[in-house]
Amino acid sequence: MVLWNIKSRWENYRNESDSKEKNGEWPSNVPIELRTLDIIPKVLNNQYEVYTDGSRIGDDTGFSVCILKNGEPFKIFQFKLNKNNTVFQAELAAIDFVVCWALENGVRFNIHTDNQSSIKVLRRARSRSAT
């Protein structure tokens, strides 16, 4: 299991369209230098530990998120995705959900995930927007 953290530097710009633009890209008012993710080993003085997992059983694909506060279960979320979604997409959806939840709630957290592919994709994430 890999311990990592996503530190968002664009949260102050998030309200342009209430979230990411409909095409899944960064809101246009976010400066280009902020359109990156810092993945660091561990956030100190965090408020929460978050565990994510995406899975597929038969035709059912989904993800779950378990949020711990002070080492105790705080919130558990489970989502079923479209049957055409892959486990990889479910893993990324779980991470996206956690980041959005943390931004909305203004909390610091560490994410624990077992998906190396998701981490690699996030490390090299860049905006496709022309702005």
CATH of the domain at 81: 3.30.420.10
Q: Is residue 14 part of a domain?
A: no
Whole-number average pLDDT of the chain: 73
Task: Determine the structural domain holding residue 99 and report its residue range.
Answer: 43-120
Residue-wise pLDDT for 3-14, tens only, equals 333 334 334 444
Distance CA 2, CA 108 (A): 18
Q: Is residue 129 part of a domain?
A: no
Q: Is residue 78 part of a domain?
A: yes
Q: Is residue 29 part of a domain?
A: no
Catalogue the long-range contacts made by 16-23 (C-beta closer than 8 Å, 24 or more residues apart): 19/100, 21/129
pLDDT(122) > 50? yes
C-alpha dist (Å) from residue 110 to 59, 69, 70, 74, 127: 31, 11, 12, 14, 24
Distance CA 130, CA 64 (A): 34
pLDDT of residue 113: 83
Residue-wise pLDDT for 37-46, tens only, equals 555 566 677 7
Q: Is 39 exposed, middle or buried (0-12, 13-18, 19+ CB in 10 A)?
A: middle
Residue-wise pLDDT for 50-98, tens only, equals 999 999 999 999 999 999 998 899 999 999 999 899 999 999 999 989 9
Distance CA 53, CA 2 (A): 12
Q: Is residue 25 part of a domain?
A: no
Q: Is residue 84 part of a domain?
A: yes
Q: Is residue 85 part of a domain?
A: yes
Distance CA 60, CA 113 (A): 20
Number of domains in the chain: 1
Q: Is residue 8 part of a domain?
A: no
Cβ contact 63:55 at 8 Å: yes
Confidence of residue 29 (pLDDT cuts 50, 70, 90): low
pLDDT of residue 22: 40
